[in-house]
Structure 1
Amino acid sequence: MNHQDTKTRRILGTVSAIVLALSFQVGRPAAQPYLGNGIKIGEVSATTAKVWVRLTATPDRNRDGIPWGTGDVPHRPGNPNSPDRKKMETTTSDDPYFRQVPAGKTLWDMADGVQGAPGFVRLTCGSEDEGEQQVGWVQVSPDEDFTTQFDLFGLKPGTRYSLAVEASGTPESDISALLESSFRTAPAPEEEGRVSFTVVTGSRWKTMDHPDGHKIYVHMRALKPSFFVHTGDIVYYDHLHPYATHIDLARFRWTRMYSLPRIVAFHNEIPSYFIRDDHDTWQNDCWPGMMPFMGNFTLEEGQSVFAEQTPVVGKTYRTFRWGKDLQVWMTEGRDYRSPNTMPDGPDKTIWGAEQMAWFRRTVLESDATFRMLISPSPIVGPDHKGKLDNHSNKNFTYEGDLIRSFMAEQNMIIVCGDRHWQYTSEDTRTGLPEYSCGPTT
């Protein structure tokens, strides 16, 4: 198959008759490139899927790298591990990384870095009773952090597909890394079937409970869920070590997190959906036009990094069906919102008019038995008394009431992220139930 130089690669029609054992293998130790970030299998439906890949210069992160310092990033008095975000509004530096990387050193000399690498990727996909389809070799680009994404179309509902992802320096070179995996498509919308899934929020590096990745990924993987949803705050740009004052440091946080063996093993086999919130979009409680405290790193760059590092199709608000009985909606809470400081009323919004109209229309069109909103932040709450950033807060009461009333009328369920604790609650006015998934640690 000829080389394709667009970022998204498409596999059309039937796919293959190969049965591959689930494993992760790295080729010759001296060869490049590697697949140190594994893969992400995303946006799986009854007939489609998307596979994310990044080529790396090493098979593992730099475990012996230089520890991160704060450089020119101010920290709170008496707490060197917490940035002073207010001071960052006026702090400048003549170094794009704010001297968090020592002079004479590179980003990849730092602890836990995973340097990308040039090269080519080939993907083969198939099932037991369909013809084989192969795409590649596809060249990755440093402009996209050495990532590429493959769109798979024409899949059969409720079918297990095997994947083989190969890496090589050139199309003519030996294979330098091989990853073999599999996933199952969703049942058709008219088919009944068992479904189980897991949802998390808040994956902070500094509170990670195991050096190979959060313990929860081991337990979730053992459950063999049909799919997984991360509600956001997947990484924290506005936390130290490093504070993402530049797009390179934002990418560093993603590739560091997704080099951890437990997380790599999970995503190599579990279909996943990714939502973003404030910390993995730009900065704490952010909205468009907000006063920046991220140095040289912009909101627009944060939006582009998310699209680059996750297998998301189209708009970040979307819905998917899992058989006859379940339909899930995932919403976007950062791109269309009003300032938190704006007085509440009909013109104040988190979702924006277009997303609100889409949500109402698609919910009313759905005949699924269970209709569930998975939201990056609470709709019902409870929340901290001083919080002013989501629909459960008093400063977004007008739009929050509209959403709660409509969802209660439609007998829907909410699962939310963002909050650093688990809870179940019920809106006292409408009876709408909400379940807070809690953070990874």
Structure 2
Amino acid sequence: MRQTGWLAVNPRRDFTRQVTLQDLELNQSYALRIESRSLRGMKGQTITGSFKTALGAAQSEAFQFVVLTCQSWPTRDKGTAGLQIYDNMLALDPAFFVHLGDIVYYDKRSAGGDVDARTPELARFHWNRWYGTTDVVKFHQQVPSFFIKDDHDTVTNDASPGRREGDLTWDAGLSIFREQAPMGERTYRTRRWSQDLQFWLVEGRDFRSPNNMPDGPDKSIWGAEQKAWFKREVLASDAPFKILFSPTPVVGPDRKNKKDNHSNANWTHEGDEIRKFCAENNIIVISGDRHWQYHSIDDGTGVHEFSSGATTAKHAGGFSLDLRTPEHQYLAIIGGFLSGEVASVGGEKQLTMRHHRVDGSIAYEYSYSRAE
């Protein structure tokens, strides 16, 4: 058993503290116990949990992971317990979870929220409310999790550097996300989960150019440093399956009036660059932000993209079956989540992506194979 001493929390940062767990062994299960006390030594709450570490680049065995995006408090489907989708994801015994952004909705008008977070205190209220619900807490007590932010959990809809809403400034939004979500040095990261899978989580807000900037080589959502890091890390990887987790679409297709992601016409230059690189390196894209489910294949490059859809049936929408294109392999205007299963089948490595409805039932699946 290992333990820390008593560690101070920061009252100016919502009484939080992030603690790095070091020297963990690969493919090992750990139990965790967190105790609290007042400054005067009065005993407080105790939280317990468990997790299993990644397999690492040398080990191969079957596992599943789950992916979610877009959870709005007014559209929750289990009252103060939270969201039924978390129990249905937990039933798959996932090795890890990725939240692709819009974890909370600070803005009321554009996103169906019920409280405008126009101060840092109200922004924290949004986090405390969601992450105090029983279903969400139970899930995260058992599943290693990665978080990416998008616009609604930074400041407001389609937010870019410098944006503010009332007293909630851009810098405050960035700081609160790092305060509330477990995070290392950077908000863009890569993990080699197993011999078979490596994935990349990218940052889509911190470094972006304005949406209305003329398109060209200097216009970027990722920024030069992150883009160079991504290409360098991908080229160094020998994982059979590579996944890009992006908070916004790279392939789409999107609606014609949208201007905030790489599938939109005003981001063609960098979008083409990233799609071409993903195609050359067999990268599968999993996107957040969309309130509908889809699997699409880019006409120009053949890059595949999946979207999980929003967390509840009430939250689903924003697209229509009438907008289906030949790029869509699957399209459904429903809520739900996405799972991926890595396994060996008939002498081949196989990655199977599945779209699930909110109740956990499978709506669609698609498999990729690689020679062992």
Q: TM-score, normalised by structure 1?
A: 0.68
Give 2:72's match in structure 1, choosing from 193, 204, 213: 204
Indicate which of 212, 219, 233 corresponds to 2:88.
219
Q: Which residue of 2 aligns with 1:331?
A: 202
C-alpha separation between the residues in 2 aligned to 1:356 and 1:416? Answer: 17
How far apart, CA to CA, are the structure 2 residues paired with 1:180 and 1:354?
38
For 1:363, the equivalent position in structure 2 comes to: 234
Distance 1:202 1:187 in 2: 29
Aligned residue among 208, 217, 233 for 1:346: 217
Partners of 2:7 and 2:96 in 1: CA distance: 27
The offset of 1:176, in angstroms, is 2.9
Deviations 1:54-84 (A, max 9, x none): xxxxxxxxxxxxxxxxxxxxxxxxxxxxxxx
Compute the displacement of 1:377 (Å). 0.5
**Alignment partner for residue 386 of structure 1, among 248, 257, 260?**
257
- Paired with 1:439 and 1:321, the residues of 2 have a C-alpha distance of 27
Is contact 2:35-2:45 (8 Å) kept? Answer: yes
How many residue pairs match? The answer is: 307
Native 8 Å contact 1:137 1:171 kept in 2: no
Instruction: Kindly indicate whether the alpha-carbon contact (under 8 Å) linking 2:162 and 2:169 is maintained by their aligned counterparts in 1.
Output: no
**1:167 is aligned to 2:36:** yes
Correspondence 1:306-317 to 2 at 5 A: 306-317=177-188
Matched, 1:244 2:113: no
AA of the residue aligned to 1:369: P
The 5-angstrom pairing of residues 182-331 of structure 1 reads 182-211=50-79, 212-239=81-108, 240-290=113-163, 292=164, 294-331=165-202
- Give unmatched runs, 5+ long, in structure 2: 313-372
Query: AA paired with 1:225?
Result: P
Partner of 1:154: 23
**How far off its partner does 1:210 sit?**
1.1
Q: Secondary structure at the match of 2:175?
A: helix
Residue of structure 2 equivalent to 1:13: none
User: CA offsets per residue over residues 208-238 of structure 1, 9 Å max, x none?
Assistant: 1111111100101111100000000000111
What does residue 5 of structure 2 align with?
136
Q: Distance in 1 between matches of 2:73 and 2:311?
A: 10
Distance in 2, Cα, partners of 1:340 & 1:182: 42
Deviation (angstroms), 1:139: 2.1
**Distance in 2 between residues matched to 1:417 and 1:199, nearest whole Å:** 9
Name the CA distance, whole Å, in 1 between partners of 2:152 and 2:46: 33
SS at match of 2:136: helix
**In 1, distance between residues paired with 2:189 and 2:129?**
27
- The CA deviation at 1:347 is 1.1
2-structure distance, mates of 1:165, 1:338: 41
Shift of 1:241: 2.9
Contact persistence 2:68–2:310 (CA under 8 A): yes
Q: Indicate whether 1:404 and 2:275 are aligned.
A: yes
Partners of 1:334 and 1:350 within 8 A in 2: yes
Which AA in structure 1 matches 2:263? S
Residues 262 and 271, structure 2, Cα contact 8 Å, conserved in 1: yes
In the alignment, which of 46, 69, 72 is matched to residue 178 of structure 1?
A: 46
Which protein has the larger Cα radius of gyration, Structure 1 or Structure 2? 1
After superposition, the CA RMSD in angstroms is 1.1
Mapped partners of 1:172, 1:259: distance in 2: 24
Whichever residue aligns with residue 227 of structure 2, its letter is M
CA distance in 1, matches of 2:139, 2:192: 22
Cα deviation for residue 181 of structure 1 reads 1.7
Does the 8 Å contact 2:101/2:153 carry over to 1? yes
- CA deviation after TM superposition for structure 1 residue 171, in Å: 6.9
Amino acid at match of 1:348: K
Higher alpha-carbon deviation: 142-151 or 400-409: 142-151
What is residue 432 of structure 1 aligned with on the other side? 303
Where do residues 30-109 of structure 1 align in structure 2 (5 Å cutoff)? none
Label 1:393 to 1:373 Cα distance change in 2 as closer, same or farther (>3 A). same
State the TM-score, normalizing by the size of structure 2: 0.81
